[in-house]
Every structure is written in structure tokens, then in C-alpha cells.
Amino acid sequence: QVQLVQSGAEVKKPGASVKVSCKASGYTFTGYYMHWLRQAPGQGLEWMGWINPNTGDTNYAQKFQGRVTMTRDTSISTTYMELSRLRSDDTAVYYCGRGYTLDVWGRGTTVTVSS
Amino acid sequence: QSVLTQPPSASGTPGQRVTISCSGSSSNIGSNTVNWYQQLPGTAPKLLIYSDNQRPSGVPDRFSGSKSGTSASLAISGLQSEDEADYYCAAWDDSLNGPVFGGGTKLTVL
């Protein structure tokens, strides 16, 4: 079945970087854009950007430009989201989601930023 | 501050029909289709309605969506206790070249 499996929880110090992975299975990896979103504790969903797994093209939300990098490895059907210069307000659950309708989601990766 | 506007809360009793509104602008809802997501406590969002009014396989027909102009609505009929969740609307935004979301509506089944 179609599945997105994300990497495990992370705890980081302010100023550090975090890299979260999202491994796709059950469908043609290069056939769907992959989006990254986050949800801070008790808050709503926030879109961070997308990557085209076929070409590697990306589009980042303005809020994250300069701090976020999305990449992919087609050989293992995996996309990555790296966020740098972490702050305490980056503490959130980070999700990957498939395609225009976000019809499939990963289970989320909790990133905690704390000194 | 979310781009799409939803009421923060809604409620109903079992069996009732409830609706959740979602308001946007010409660059998102006005020119693209609307999707709705259900997020049960402690879980990832799940696609509930896509393309304004289409249900993915497995979603009960108690859930329906509609759109008019720059606003959309989600209706839940025959409310059940397991419908208690957060509901988010979303639409592609041509200015951002990405999806925008509502702030979410917490549905309570009384």
C-alpha cells in the first residue's frame, strides 16, 4: 500500500540543524510532488515547501527561505527536509505529504529545540 | 494568521448535521479546488474531501463538501462521537505556488 515513513524524533539545541527523511513506497516516487509541513504544539498546519522528486526542483514558503533545504534520493525513494539555525519556535511535528491533494501523509517527526 | 479563515470551534449532538465554513480569496479558493482534512487527536491529518466535493475511498458519505466563489463548506451529517477531531480546509494558492490552510476547526460532539 502507499506509505510514507518518516525518521524518528529529534532533540536539537538552538542554532543547530535538523534533517528529517520521508521514505515513500507503494507508488512511483517520481510521479508526485512531496510537500513538507509542520504543526507547532496546539497550533494549525503550516506549509513549508515542496520538492519535485523527478527533477529536484523546489519551492519554499517565504518564511523558511534561506533556512530550509529539500532534497531527494530517487535510488531509495526518499525525500529530505533540512532546517538550519533552529530556534525554540521551530519545535513542532514535521510532516511529509504526497501530491497536489496531500492524499497521503507521513506519521510525523517530532523535532524539539531546547537548550 | 492563517490565509484561509475557519471558525475555531463547532459542536453538535449525535445525529445532528454540522457545517464548517472556510473563506479565502481569488488567488486560492476562487481559482483552485478545496481539500478538507480530518486530524484525530495525536495523529497525522487525513484527506477527507478533495476537489471541492470528492470523497476518497473509505470516507463515509456523511461527509460532503461544497464551494461557491471564494468560500467553501464541509458538512457532516449523522454526527458520531468518532467525528470529534480538528478539521482543516486547504487550497492551492497561485501567488505562493503552494497550498494554504485554514487555522482549523475543533469539532466537539456533545
Q: Does B50 touch chain A (CB under 8 A)?
A: yes
What is the reported pLDDT for B103?
Answer: 97
Section A32-54 average pLDDT: 97
Name A49's bridge partners.
A36, A60
Can you list the positions of beta strands (E) in chain B?
A: 9-12, 18-23, 34-39, 46-49, 63-68, 71-76, 85-93, 98-101, 105-109
Closest chain B residue to A61, measured at CA: B96
| Neighbour count for residue B30 (Cβ, 10 Å) | 14
| Confidence label for A60 from pLDDT (cuts 50, 70 and 90) | very high
What is the reported pLDDT for A37?
Answer: 98
Enumerate the residues of chain B whose CB falls inside 8 A of the CB of residue A106.
44
Residue A29 · residue A97 · CB < 8 Å: no
What is the reported pLDDT for B1?
Answer: 83
Q: How far apart are CA A103 and CA A85, in angstroms?
A: 31
Q: Among B43, B56, B88, whose Cβ lies nearest the Cβ of A103?
A: B56
Name which of A90, A46, A48 is nearest A65 in CA terms. Answer: A48
What is the reported pLDDT for B50?
Answer: 98
The mean predicted confidence, pLDDT, of chain A is: 98
What is the reported pLDDT for A106?
Answer: 98
Q: Among A45, A49, A107, whose Cβ lies nearest the Cβ of B101?
A: A45
DSSP state of A76: G
Over pLDDT 70: what percentage of chain A? 100
Q: Are strands A109-113 and A10-12 parallel, antiparallel or unpaired?
A: parallel
What is the reported pLDDT for A13?
Answer: 98
Over pLDDT 90: what percentage of chain A? 100
What is the reported pLDDT for A110?
Answer: 98
Residues 6+ apart with CB under 8 A from B12: B18, B76, B79, B107, B108, B109, B110
Name which of B20, B21, B47, B36 is nearest B107 in CA terms. Answer: B20
What is the reported pLDDT for A96?
Answer: 98
Cβ contact, residue pair A103, B102, below 8 Å:
no
Closest chain B residue to A109, measured at CA: B44
Section A40-65 average pLDDT: 97
Section A44-69 average pLDDT: 97
Q: Among A47, A50, A108, whose Cβ lies nearest the Cβ of B101?
A: A47
B97's grid cell? 505556488
Residue A95 · residue A38 · CB < 8 Å: yes
Name residues of chain B where pLDDT drops below 50: none
What is the reported pLDDT for B100?
Answer: 97
Q: How far apart are CA A7 and CA A2, in angstroms?
A: 17
Cα-to-chain-centroid distance, residue A111: 11
A11-38 pLDDT tens trace? 999 999 999 999 999 999 999 999 999 9
